[in-house]
Amino acid sequence: MPGLKAELSKAFVSKWFALPCCIATAIAIVAAIGGYLDDAKGAYALDYISTKWFDYTISSCFKYNILADFTQPASDIFFILLPLLCSIPFSWTLADELSSGFASNSILKSNPTMYLKNKYLAALVAGGCIAAIPIIVNCILCACLLPARTPDVTSSIYFAVFDDNLFSYFFYNCPIAFDALFLVLNVVFCACWSAFVMSFSFVVRRPALLVGLPYCALFLLKAIEDAIPSDFISFELSPFLFLRGCALSHSQSGMYILLTLLVLCLVPLATMHYVSRRGFHE
């Protein structure tokens, strides 16, 4: 598929991929180093307090990697910026090509549906990579700096991963599987979000607004979540929170996350269907 190869080349051989990837990776590295330093401050306790009273498993790379960490400001910043960073590499390119007329020339060589399909696939891959690369770097760095102790469920208060958390069983039995599952969740969400943002290119032609407006909507969703009394909601609504393995205010809902991903997928599919039936109009 030469069209797809061309789009992937535009996505990855670009400063707009390198810049957000470097920013996300730098934040992930800072989070890993911060976790290591925090662990080192408390390490003396393991030398002076009997493990009968002190659970040594709280000193573990699985506690401090960015997927489960709740102590580092860098981890908070990473997940707040992640939806924005994953849409920067490629989500805006369709709007730019529509405005410049380049899209019309591209369609002459293929057809509207194939053109959009290649665009969306490239957006999916680029957005997913922006999530995958820094998270993998962070997990590897944490594994190099900290012991890989399997967390003990009796010390769940130190991990903020409780019974009703998504994939909590794996955290206390096979933490590598827990990390893998949340890595996949982050990659899938960012891939879908990147394609979702691109779908609004037919309405919003300015790249900065196209990327920024949906991202601002996430803050509105977070504000709505904060305004709802805890008696009426028992799970995280915002991706700023449900992409993380730890429970910061509520637990995650698997059904809600699936519904969110479904909506993010349906919007690009509906756009492609509309264009295939009605034709491509700039």
- Write the pLDDT tens digit of every residue in 159-216: 888 888 889 999 999 999 999 999 999 999 999 999 999 999 888 889 899 999 999 9
58 has a pLDDT exceeding 70: yes
pTM: 0.90
For the ranges 105-109, 183-187, 208-212, 260-264, the lowest mean pLDDT is seen at 105-109
pLDDT value at residue 262: 96
pLDDT value at residue 10: 85
User: What are the b/e assignments for 64-79, b being 16+ CB within 10 Å?
Assistant: bbbbbbbbbebbbebb
Nearest residue to 235 via CA among 183, 162, 178, 182: 162
Task: Determine the average pLDDT of the residues in 32-47.
Answer: 77
Cα angle value 127/131/136 (rounded, 5°): 145
pLDDT value at residue 44: 56
pLDDT band of 278, cuts 50, 70, 90: low
Task: Determine the average pLDDT of the residues in 123-141.
Answer: 96
The tokens describing 140, both together, are 């590897």
pLDDT value at residue 275: 74
Query: pLDDT above 70 covers what percent of the chain?
Result: 89
pLDDT band of 235, cuts 50, 70, 90: confident
Q: Average per-residue pLDDT in the chain?
A: 87
Cβ count within 10 A of residue 49: 11
pLDDT value at residue 42: 66
Q: Which of the given ranges, 81-85, 251-255, 277-281, has the highest pLDDT on average?
A: 81-85
